[in-house]
Amino acid sequence: MKPEDKIKLEGIGGWVILPIIGLFGSIIVLLDELIMLFGFLEGNEIFIVLDIAWILLIIYTLIAIFQKKKTAIRLAMIAFAVNGLTNLIAVFYVGDVPSFAGVIGSVVWMFYFAKSRRVENTFVN
């Protein structure tokens, strides 16, 4: 097969779809958490602010992804890093062992966005 015959990996497709679905899922989970926090407002103000900031980062990242902006790569990696850190805190501070899967997932997607040819060819604007 000649190099020019190879299919150029680009566009929002393939494995790129999975972290996008995860980001949309994170928004849903965070909105649910916000609803619960508003019921117990006293003493939870910092968590409300952090959740709102996290939702805004995810929305900004998703907009950059769908506009195929070059900054989407860095924004996605920041979002995965924040997600991994919050899951790591949940593992050690709360003892939530299933959150360790979130840490592993975040690391995997960070490496994918750093090394993937599809990601490199898609986010060029």
Tell me the per-residue pLDDT of 25-58, one tens digit each, with 9 for 90 and over: 999 999 998 888 877 777 778 888 889 999 999 9
CA distances from 107 to 26, 79, 88, 122 (A): 16, 11, 11, 21
Structural domain span for residue 38:
14-122
Q: Is residue 1 part of a domain?
A: no
Q: Is residue 113 part of a domain?
A: yes
Q: Is residue 50 part of a domain?
A: yes
Q: Is residue 99 part of a domain?
A: yes
As given in the structure block, the two tokens for residue 25 are 């899922």
Q: Is residue 53 part of a domain?
A: yes
Q: Is residue 9 part of a domain?
A: no
Looking at the structure of the chain, the number of domains it has is: 1
Predicted structure pTM score: 0.85
Q: Is residue 3 part of a domain?
A: no
Question: For position 1, what pLDDT does the model report?
Answer: 46
Q: Is residue 54 part of a domain?
A: yes
